[in-house]
């Protein structure tokens, strides 16, 4: 009988083409620069292919993040309520009792309900009789149930509001600006109609408006797109920083691929460490002890460079500082470019 453990073991070995004894390489990944040094020393059979292993670890990392974060809970970071005297509080997807709601779907049905009530109130006086109102209210209750009340309760609890009713508007962040939108417009109009109604005609503001509405409708999709693009951002950054290392260590006459695999292995070990820490934190919260692995993650690239390139401390220190500065700038530029592409094409 094939057990789940045996099946996963077969998948692991078939994907990585490793023997059982080769699992020992996992702890070696946490020794800065060691696996890359061994790889180029000719001892390659005991280690998985660096590129393949990077994508496997990255997939596991994204899979873990997706299940441990609120990306799929309807979080609406771009919006805040503007009712009462509040300055604007982000709407949370989880209320006090731990229940999760589809904020957009609930808000849309509530807006439809209020629209029907307003249309009845706009009828001529002779049609707005008590019996007609009772009939309309009965029909609306049958159609929408308790959605309006649930939406009001959700809004009040989720925003810790001192108000007892849903505010009439919410604030949408457009870069450094805020745009106040009526709830009925947010839930009943599409982004193009909202842009026309509120006079949004600048290209970038229009993109931000559309992304804000899309994020409200499906917040998890945008976040998953960011995470997916982060992998390609890291690969582009690794390619860029490999060129930087080629310049820093040009006297050693190393090939570009050596620097590339060095950085690939170091990033893989970083994500492996994060996966391990997430697993430990799930069972036993690390709390303030997170500072220790964070310090190690910052310092380990320096020790990896010292081991792999085998230069003196002084030379390694100044090269590590140059590398860190270019890495930080490169990451910001590439990640910002990736975010812009997501905003334009998402």
Q: Is 250 inside a domain boundary?
A: yes
Among 190, 209, 242, the domain boundary falls at: 190
Q: Is 198 inside a domain boundary?
A: no
Q: Is 9 inside a domain boundary?
A: no
Same domain, 28 and 101: no
Residue 91 has pLDDT above 50, yes or no: no
Q: Which residues pair with 177 in a beta bridge?
A: 174
Among 175, 190, 205, the domain boundary falls at: 190
User: What is the per-residue pLDDT for 3?
Assistant: 60
Q: Is 107 inside a domain boundary?
A: yes
287-306, pLDDT tens digit by residue?
Answer: 778 888 888 888 898 999 99
pLDDT band (50, 70, 90) for residue 321: very high
User: What is the per-residue pLDDT for 72?
Assistant: 41
User: What is the per-residue pLDDT for 89?
Assistant: 38
Among 190, 213, 232, the domain boundary falls at: 190
Q: Is 142 exposed, middle or buried (0-12, 13-18, 19+ CB in 10 A)?
A: exposed
Same domain, 245 and 336: yes
Point out the least confidently predicted range of 43-52, 144-153, 212-221, 283-292.
144-153
pLDDT band (50, 70, 90) for residue 324: very high
User: What is the per-residue pLDDT for 229?
Assistant: 72
Are 326 and 244 in contact by the 8 Å Cβ rule? The answer is: yes
User: Whole-angstrom distance between the N-terminal and C-terminal Cα of the chain?
Assistant: 46
Number of domains in the chain: 2
306-319, pLDDT tens digit by residue?
Answer: 999 999 999 999 99
SS3 81: strand
User: What is the per-residue pLDDT for 204?
Assistant: 77
Its domain, for residue 308, covers 17-70+221-345
Residue 21 has pLDDT above 50, yes or no: no
Q: Is 216 inside a domain boundary?
A: no
Measured in degrees and rounded to the nearest 5, phi and psi for residue 95 equal -95, -175
Name the helix (H) or strand (E) containing 170.
Answer: strand 169-174
Q: Is 199 inside a domain boundary?
A: no
Query: What's the mean pLDDT in 15-44?
Result: 75
Q: Is 197 inside a domain boundary?
A: no
Record the tokens describing residue 128, joined without a space.
């707005």
């Amino acid at each position: 009988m094939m057990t789940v453990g045996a099946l996963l073991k077969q998948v692991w070995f078939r994907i990585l083409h490793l023997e059982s004894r080769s699992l020992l390489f996992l702890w070696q990944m946490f020794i800065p620069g060691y696996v890359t040094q061994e790889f180029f020393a000719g001892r390659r059979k005991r280690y998985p292919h660096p590129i393949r292993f990077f994508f496997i670890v990255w997939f596991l990392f994204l899979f873990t993040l997706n299940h441990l974060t609120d990306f799929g809970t309807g979080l609406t970071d771009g919006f805040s309520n503007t009712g009462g005297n509040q300055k604007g509080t982000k709407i949370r997807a989880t209320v006090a009792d731990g229940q999760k709601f589809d904020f957009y779907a609930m808000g849309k049905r509530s807006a439809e309900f209020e629209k029907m009530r307003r249309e009845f109130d706009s009828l001529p006086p002779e049609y707005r009789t008590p019996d007609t109102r009772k009939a309309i209210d009965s029909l609306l209750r049958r159609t929408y149930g308790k959605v309006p009340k649930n939406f009001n309760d959700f809004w009040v609890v989720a925003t810790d509001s001192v108000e007892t009713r849903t505010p009439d508007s919410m604030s949408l962040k457009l870069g450094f600006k805020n745009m106040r939108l009526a709830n009925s417009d947010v839930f009943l109009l599409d982004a193009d109609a909202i842009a026309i109604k509120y006079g949004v005609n600048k290209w970038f503001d229009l993109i931000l408006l559309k992304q804000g509405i899309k994020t409200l409708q499906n917040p998890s999709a945008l976040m998953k797109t960011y995470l997916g693009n982060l992998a390609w951002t890291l690969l582009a950054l690794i390619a860029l920083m490999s060129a930087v290392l080629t310049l820093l260590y040009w006297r050693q006459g190393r090939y570009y691929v050596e620097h590339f695999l060095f950085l690939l292995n170091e990033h893989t070990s970083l994500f492996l460490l994060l996966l391990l820490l997430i697993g430990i934190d799930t069972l036993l919260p690390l709390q303030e002890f997170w500072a220790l692995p964070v310090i190690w993650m910052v310092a380990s690239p320096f020790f990896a460079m010292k081991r792999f390139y085998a230069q003196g401390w002084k030379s390694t220190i100044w090269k590590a500082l140059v590398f860190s500065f270019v890495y930080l700038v490169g990451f910001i530029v590439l990640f910002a470019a990736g975010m812009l592409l997501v905003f334009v094409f998402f």
